[in-house]
């Protein structure tokens, strides 16, 4: 055979193989995990993120932090995808998932240095994942929706979710609001429809304290009435929901009209007004006393609607059009000529109220009584945004328990029990997979260790106490941050959704295994600069770019 080299890849292509590829990928993933590690738990720190436009986001929500990071390394992006998957599936546990992924890879790197093959590590991690999920199912406690303490448990789950957020001081009041909201939309849910907290709209409004966040039984639209002479409140409302504009249609092409006679000009204007008046007449004829339009409303139409004592708002969002349709029963009308009495929706009251300095439209007493809106309050835009994120997470975890009625206990109690049982399981395995299962146990145990470190406690003392408790069969023992020592998390009511913990373990393990399986990275230099992979925690997220 010829010894002439065969060039397959382009000149601007870079290739990293074998151990170097694994090391670069692992270190990139660890950098991302380390970035959010200090945000884990009730004593976790916040991160300030500044985007290219100078907009500032302050948060300790893992999904938000990772979403705002502009990373280039593909392995780092995979960790961010883990967080996004967890957020999409269960709504919380994003920071935990990222941290666990990083620790699984850190433990795997130690095994790789000991010449244990990646395939063996992956096989061991798969067995450990199955065992961990089995432990979660075994220790999870079933919640009875018919029991007296059902709401209390749901509130505890919401409070646990919010305990690590900015709103932790208000979690008692907010937890009650969140649970009431989820149970309200679940009450009239058809059997063939899934519970979806996206059906609980949240209206953010700067002003007042966080504890003034309230649950409104009905819809709230961030719109004001279009004409000062219109009624501010309508009872026994009959609602026309229009997808079309109440304006004279503009042609799609440029046109000019030549008018030589002044009377022709007046005739032209009169015809335009006649067309606009006919729109109002159609609305009046239908019996509507409230008009909600997705598009614009001409000034002339506003005037005649006001004369007929009809309340109107315009330019509402498409998502709000759908909500008004579902909650009031109003048909979405695309042509005003087609509007009839049968298309009208109903509500007991439609009223404009002033919230802080803004005017909002409240639609209450709709046929679908389960409709609710969360009015989110806070002193500044940044605070309102963080409250909104905390409420979003809390709504999701409460929904998770309603859908899958099983709970576990926090403070690292579940992680400690998984770690304890994995070590017992590993001792029964033969071959090098035993090392991988033990490594998985060490990675899971890093979660309560991180909680202790973030709380300023000695992680060694904490872990000694937790290992002793779980060896004695105290499966609900975790780290009580307030007491600074292991305690019964069930008694402390630090309750979590079992579904969240299952998703965290599955997603983190899958991502770690996927990254470990890669031994060859081929990248075009003309693409994003990966800088050969980050050098370790504290390095740049995007290679050489500052």
Complete DSSP assignment for 250-297:
PPSS-------SHHHHHHHHHHHHHHHHHHHHHHHHHT-SEEEESS-B
Tokens for 209?
């304290």
Q: Is 188 among the domain residues?
A: no
What pLDDT score was predicted for residue 538?
41
What pLDDT score was predicted for residue 5?
62
Whether the Cβ atoms of residue 219 and residue 373 lie closer than 8 Å to each other: yes
What pLDDT score was predicted for residue 43?
93
Any idea what the CATH number is for the domain that residue 460 is in?
A: 1.10.560.10
Residue 342's alpha-carbon distances to 238, 314, 331, in angstroms, are 10, 22, 8
DSSP, collapsed to helix, strand or coil, labels residue 12 as coil
For 449, the domain range is 13-142+408-524
Q: Is 382 among the domain residues?
A: no
| Catalytic residue flag (residue 366) | no
Of 525, 529, 516, nearest to 105 (Cα)?
A: 516
Average pLDDT, the chain: 89
Whether the Cβ atoms of residue 419 and residue 437 lie closer than 8 Å to each other: no
pLDDT of 192 > 80? The answer is no
Tokens for 43?
């004593």
Q: Is 80 among the domain residues?
A: yes
pLDDT of 19 > 80? The answer is no
Q: What is the rounded average pLDDT of the residues 5-22?
A: 68
User: For the ranges 115-129, 218-232, 249-263, 329-343, which has the lowest average pLDDT?
Assistant: 249-263
* pLDDT, tens only, 432-477: 999 999 999 999 999 999 999 999 999 999 999 999 999 999 999 9
Q: Is 101 among the domain residues?
A: yes
DSSP, collapsed to helix, strand or coil, labels residue 99 as helix
DSSP symbol at 248: P
Of 163, 154, 29, 162, nearest to 97 (Cα)?
A: 29
| Catalytic residue flag (residue 95) | yes
Q: Is 92 among the domain residues?
A: yes
Whether the Cβ atoms of residue 436 and residue 123 lie closer than 8 Å to each other: yes
Number of C-beta neighbours around residue 283 at 10 A: 25
Model confidence band, residue 177 (pLDDT cutoffs 50, 70, 90): very high
Beta 47-50 vs 311-313: how paired, if at all? unpaired
Catalytic option among 87, 393, 400, 488: 393
Q: Is 32 among the domain residues?
A: yes
| Catalytic residue flag (residue 92) | no
pLDDT of 251 > 70? The answer is no
- CA torsion sign, 458 to 461 to 464 to 466? negative
Q: From CA 478, how far away is CA 475, in angstroms rounded?
A: 8
Catalytic option among 64, 95, 327, 366: 95
Is the pLDDT higher at 250 or at 65? 65
Q: Is 396 among the domain residues?
A: no
What pLDDT score was predicted for residue 7?
55
pLDDT of 132 > 90? The answer is yes
User: For the ranges 69-78, 293-302, 413-422, which has the lowest average pLDDT?
Assistant: 69-78
Model confidence band, residue 375 (pLDDT cutoffs 50, 70, 90): very high
Number of C-beta neighbours around residue 543 at 10 A: 17
pLDDT of 536 > 60? The answer is no
Tokens for 140?
């999870």
Please provide the DSSP assignment of 120-161 as one string: HHHHHHHHHHHHHHHHHHHH-EE--TTSTTHHHHHHHHHHHH
Ramachandran bin of 329, using left for φ above 0, alpha for ψ from -120 to 50, beta for the remaining angles:
left
Whether the Cβ atoms of residue 433 and residue 120 lie closer than 8 Å to each other: yes
Model confidence band, residue 190 (pLDDT cutoffs 50, 70, 90): confident
Beta 332-333 vs 233-242: how paired, if at all? parallel
> 């290219």: which residue's tokens?
52
DSSP, collapsed to helix, strand or coil, labels residue 480 as strand
DSSP, collapsed to helix, strand or coil, labels residue 66 as helix
Count structural domains, the chain. 1
Catalytic option among 16, 57, 61, 343: 61
For the chain, the distance separating the N- and C-terminal CA atoms, rounded to the nearest angstrom, is 49
Residue 409's alpha-carbon distances to 134, 178, 222, 436, 445, in angstroms, are 16, 20, 39, 26, 15
pTM of structure: 0.84
What pLDDT score was predicted for residue 16?
74
What pLDDT score was predicted for residue 21?
81
Catalytic option among 94, 129, 177, 366: 94
Beta 47-50 vs 373-378: how paired, if at all? unpaired
Model confidence band, residue 195 (pLDDT cutoffs 50, 70, 90): confident
Q: From CA 516, how far away is CA 524, in angstroms rounded?
A: 22
358: phi then psi, degrees, rounded to nearest 5: -105, 155
Of 215, 218, 213, 204, nearest to 350 (Cα)?
A: 218
Q: Is 170 among the domain residues?
A: no
Q: What is the rounded average pLDDT of the residues 217-242?
A: 95
Q: What is the rounded average pLDDT of the residues 324-351?
A: 95
């Amino acid at each position: 055979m010829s010894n002439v080299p065969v060039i397959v890849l382009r000149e601007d292509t870079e290739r990293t193989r074998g151990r170097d590829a694994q090391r670069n990928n692992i270190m990139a993933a660890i950098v991302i995990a380390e970035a959010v590690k200090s945000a884990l738990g009730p004593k976790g720190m916040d991160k300030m993120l500044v985007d290219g436009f100078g907009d500032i986001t302050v948060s300790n929500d893992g999904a938000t932090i990772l979403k705002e990071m502009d990373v280039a390394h593909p392995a780092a992006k995979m960790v961010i995808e883990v967080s996004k998957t967890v957020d999409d599936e269960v709504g919380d546990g994003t920071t935990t998932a990222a941290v666990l992924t990083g620790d699984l890879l850190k433990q795997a790197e130690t095994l790789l240095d000991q010449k244990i093959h990646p395939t063996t590590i992956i096989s061991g991690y798969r067995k450990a994942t199955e065992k961990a999920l089995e432990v979660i199912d075994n220790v999870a406690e079933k919640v009875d929706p018919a029991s007296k303490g059902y709401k209390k448990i749901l509130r505890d789950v919401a409070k646990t979710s919010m305990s690590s957020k900015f709103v932790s001081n208000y979690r008692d009041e907010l937890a009650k609001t969140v649970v009431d909201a989820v149970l309200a939309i679940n009450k009239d849910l058809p059997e063939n429809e899934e519970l979806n907290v996206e059906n609980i709209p949240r209206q953010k409004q700067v002003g007042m304290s966080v504890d003034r966040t309230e649950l409104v039984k009905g819809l709230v639209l961030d719109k004001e009435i279009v004409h000062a002479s219109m009624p501010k409140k309508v009872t026994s409302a009959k609602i026309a929901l229009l997808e079309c504009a109440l304006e004279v249609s503009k042609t799609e092409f440029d046109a000019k009209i030549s008018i030589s006679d002044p009377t022709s000009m007046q005739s032209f204007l009169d015809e335009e007004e006649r067309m606009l008046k006919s729109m109002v007449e159609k609305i009046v004829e239908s019996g509507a006393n409230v008009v909600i339009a997705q598009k614009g409303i001409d000034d002339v139409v506003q005037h005649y609607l006001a004369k007929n004592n009809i309340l109107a708002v315009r330019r509402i969002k498409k998502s709000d059009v759908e909500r008004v349709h579902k909650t009031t029963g109003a048909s979405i009308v695309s042509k005003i000529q087609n509007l009839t009495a049968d298309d009208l929706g109903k509500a007991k009251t439609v009223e404009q109220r002033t919230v802080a300095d803004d005017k909002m439209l409240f639609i209450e007493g709709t046929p679908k009584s389960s409709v609710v809106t969360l009015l989110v309050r806070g002193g500044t835009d940044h605070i309102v945004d963080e409250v909104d994120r905390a409420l979003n997470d809390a709504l999701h975890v409460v929904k998770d328990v309603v859908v899958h009625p099983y709970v576990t206990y926090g403070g690292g109690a579940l992680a400690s029990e998984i770690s304890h049982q994995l070590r017992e399981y590993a001792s029964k395995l033969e071959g090098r997979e035993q090392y991988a299962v033990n490594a998985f146990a060490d990675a899971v145990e890093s979660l309560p260790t991180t909680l202790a470190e973030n709380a300023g406690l000695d992680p060694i003392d904490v872990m000694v106490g937790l290992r002793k408790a779980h060896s004695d069969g105290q499966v609900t023992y975790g780290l009580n941050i307030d007491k600074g020592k292991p305690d019964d998390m069930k008694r402390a009511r630090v309750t979590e959704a079992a579904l969240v913990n299952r998703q965290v373990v599955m997603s983190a393990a899958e991502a770690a295994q996927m990254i470990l399986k890669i031994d060859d990275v081929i990248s075009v230099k003309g693409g994003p600069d990966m800088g050969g992979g980050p050098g370790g925690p504290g390095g740049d997220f995007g290679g050489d770019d500052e």
